[in-house]
Amino acid sequence: MLKLFPTKHQKILKISIPAAINSLLDMLQVITDLIMVGRISAFAVAAVGLGLQSLTFVFAMLTLLHVGTSALLSRFVGAKQMKRASTSLATLLRFALFLSLPMMLLWYVFSSHVYVWFGTDVEVVALGKEYVQMLTWMLPFVLVKLVFVTALNASGDTKTPMYVKIGSIFLNVILNYLLIFGNLGFPELGVMGAAVGTVIVNILETLIYAWLYVNRKMPYIPTLHYSKSLLKRALKVGVPASFERTLTFGSFMLFTVIIAHYGTEVLAGYQIGLRVEGLAFMPGIGFTIAAMALMGQGLGAKKPLQAREDVILILKYTIGFMFFLSFFMIFMPEKIVWLFTDDAQTIEEASLYLRIVGLSQIPLAFNFVLSGALRGAGDTKRTLKISLVSLWFVRVIPAFVLTWYFDNILFVYLAMISDTFVKAIWLWRTFDKGEWMKIKV
């Protein structure tokens, strides 16, 4: 099928399509939990949705590993320096493991306070506390797995992560069926069952990647070598990206506080809307991974103009896919949301959210691809500036003001998509200037 496309298109699609499918399955793994607990109650949906969103604050550290690994390894792959790439991978794997341990401890201790901060109902607090605390046990495996997946993506191999994820999504559904509802003699754990299933799946995924690595089923050579200089180079790029993601998640959490002000049904609708929108993100994320990899490989091979050309082509594909998906979000959101819950008020609230964000899918394509390309080039300080200024001064602060004046959720959502449009214009102007060509990683 891909042979019908021109050669340069094939290069992009071979990386993007499996990466998009992998990201889609990753999101489906999360959505599976929401769909299944949605049959319990709106409180269960709010607990799981808010729990996953709060945990992403901790996962900001994943950005450090993701961006640092991708920017460094893709350049070595582009320069055909596989020995240095292998040493970098071994260094980052060890760093990921050590980084995860204090993160795990801190989050386990403080996770019980998250739901109280949001002012959610007592039942949501009770369900959410045990859910998030269980998820913290998978942190070491998640961080190590991310380094493996990013290293494969940086080398252009997005098929292996896709195959691993296909197996894990089936396992996740089976475990949810057994543990949430207590089928086939298993205990009925409810929300806790969804968490236990997710932890088991992430552990098994990590073990598969470790087996592939040790048995040389990856393009990298297994080694125990550790390089402080290579770690510093990865952190130089990764730390600003991580700082950006941390503050971004912080602003998202404040945004969720605003949403929670409107009640449990609105909060549950927002959480479901986020997951459905996440499905539309998947083509964008797949093409973002391709943009990061090809940008790094192009700069590593001393071909910056080729890297720019690749990114522009990736952007065109992303716009086309996300424009197509926006029609479903705008014109038939109720039919999609119904998969998650049969609560009429929650369906109405989630549908409103999807209709609004459906209008911003094209600028969102710019955000995905161009931010990914700039990070792949190591230009993480500029993406940090763009993201934070736009998020706080176009999204969060206006949302607080509009809530105070109008007390209408519609205005809050309009502030949200305004941020998407502003960021898209700013990222394009930054990319078009080409200053990223001069950055050294």
pLDDT tens string, the chain, 441 residues long: the values are 556 666 777 888 888 889 888 877 877 777 777 777 766 766 677 777 666 666 666 667 788 888 989 999 999 999 999 999 999 999 999 999 998 888 888 877 776 676 666 666 666 766 677 777 888 888 899 999 999 999 999 999 999 999 999 999 899 889 988 998 888 888 888 878 888 998 999 999 999 999 999 999 999 999 988 899 999 999 999 888 888 887 777 777 778 788 888 887 888 888 788 878 877 777 788 889 899 999 999 999 899 999 999 999 999 999 998 999 899 999 988 888 887 777 888 888 889 999 999 999 999 999 999 999 999 998 988 998 998 899 889 988 898 888 888 888 888 889 989 999 999 999 999 999 999 998 887
List of residues 6+ apart from 87 with CB closer than 8 A? 223, 225, 226, 227, 230
- Rounded CA-CA distance 236/232 in Å is 6
Torsion angle of the four alpha carbons 429, 432, 433, 434, in this order, in degrees rounded to the nearest 10: 140
Angle at 188 between CA 184 and CA 190, to 5 degrees: 130
CA nearest 274: which of 43, 17, 54, 59? 54
Token digits of residue 128: 């959410």
342-381 burial code (b ≥16 CB/10 A, e <16): ebeebbebbbbbbbbbbbbbbbbbbbbbbbbbbbbbbbbb
Is the Cα dihedral 404, 409, 411, 413 positive or negative? Answer: positive
- Do residues 161 and 153 lie in contact, with contact meaning Cβ atoms separated by under 8 Å? yes
CA distance 298 to 115: 45
Please give the residue range of the domain that contains residue 429: 2-438
Name the nearest CA neighbour of 225 among 350, 339, 88. 88
Q: Are 385 and 323 in contact (CB under 8 A)?
A: no
> Phi first, then psi: what are they for 262, rounded to 5°?
-90, 0
User: What dihedral do alpha carbons 155, 199, 215, 85 form, nearest 10°?
Assistant: 30
Report the residue count for the chain: 441
Separation of alpha carbons 95 and 97, rounded Å: 5
Tell me if residue 45 falls in helix, strand or coil. helix
Residue 28 identity (one-letter amino acid): L
d(CA 330, CA 341): 19
Longest Cα–Cα distance of the chain, Å, equals 62
Domains identified in the chain, total number: 1
